[in-house]
Amino acid sequence: MDDRQFRDAMGKFATGVTVVTTKVDGNVHGMTANAFMSVSLNPKLVVVSIAEKAQMLEKIKQSGTFSVNILAADQQELSMVFAGQVKNHKEVVFEHLNGVPVLPNSLAQISCEVSASHVEGDHTLIIGKVIDIRVEDSEPLIYSSGKYRLLAEESK
């Protein structure tokens, strides 16, 4: 099986889009990620899967904290910024939740402490213990087959 076939298949799994953020030595670093999942309710745990080659991995290891920001429908540009697909963008302003940087106006801001990490192939699964959450009421940005999409009308 070649890589393209694998990616094409995985791309059929429609997801939301998150930006994972962390802060090291006062500098905020962000990275777009759709490999995100809720793991456990009691205790409250989430997981993000970070490529070994991503700068984010070392930064989360250093800080021991991160946030997952679930993007709203009008935040596609931020997804592209934090995936390195847009250059010369305007400065991104962050807020903080329990001392962890978060993206204003995202649908959910989930601040976490690293609870465990597992190297699997060319990615590391970072398990986050959820410390605090802020939620807003608007529509999500969707990612499917390599394209950004919006939700259609609710089915009856």
142 binds ligand FAD (CB under 6 A): no
Stretch 26-55 residues interacting with ligand FAD (CB under 6 A): 28-35, 49-51, 54-55
Phi, psi of 83 (to 5 degrees): -105, 5
Could you tell me if 68 and 106 are in contact, meaning their C-beta atoms sit under 8 angstroms apart?
Answer: no
Report the residue closest to ligand FAD, judged by CB. 35
The distance of closest approach from Cβ of residue 113 to ligand FAD in the complex, given in angstroms and rounded to an integer, is 19
Site string for ligand FAD, 59-98 (x = CB under 6 A): --------------------x-xxxx-------x------
Please list, in sequence order, all residues whose beta carbon lies within 8 angstroms of the beta carbon of residue 49, skipping any fewer than 6 positions away: 33, 35, 36, 120, 123, 124, 125, 126
Chain Cα centroid distance, residue 153: 25
**Which run of H or E residues covers position 89?**
none
Site string for ligand NAD, 75-114 (x = CB under 6 A): --------x-------------------------------
The strand pair at 123-135 and 45-51 is best described as antiparallel
Q: Tell me which stretch binds ligand NAD (CB under 6 A): 6-14, 23-31, 40-48, 68-76.
A: 6-14
**Which run of H or E residues covers position 144?**
strand 141-144
What do you get for the CA distance between the two ends of the chain, in Å?
39
Residue 7 interacts with, from ligand NAD, ligand FAD, none (CB under 5-8 Å by kind): ligand NAD
Q: Which stretches of the chain bind ligand FAD, using CB under 6 A?
A: 17, 28-35, 49-51, 54-56, 79, 81-84, 92, 143
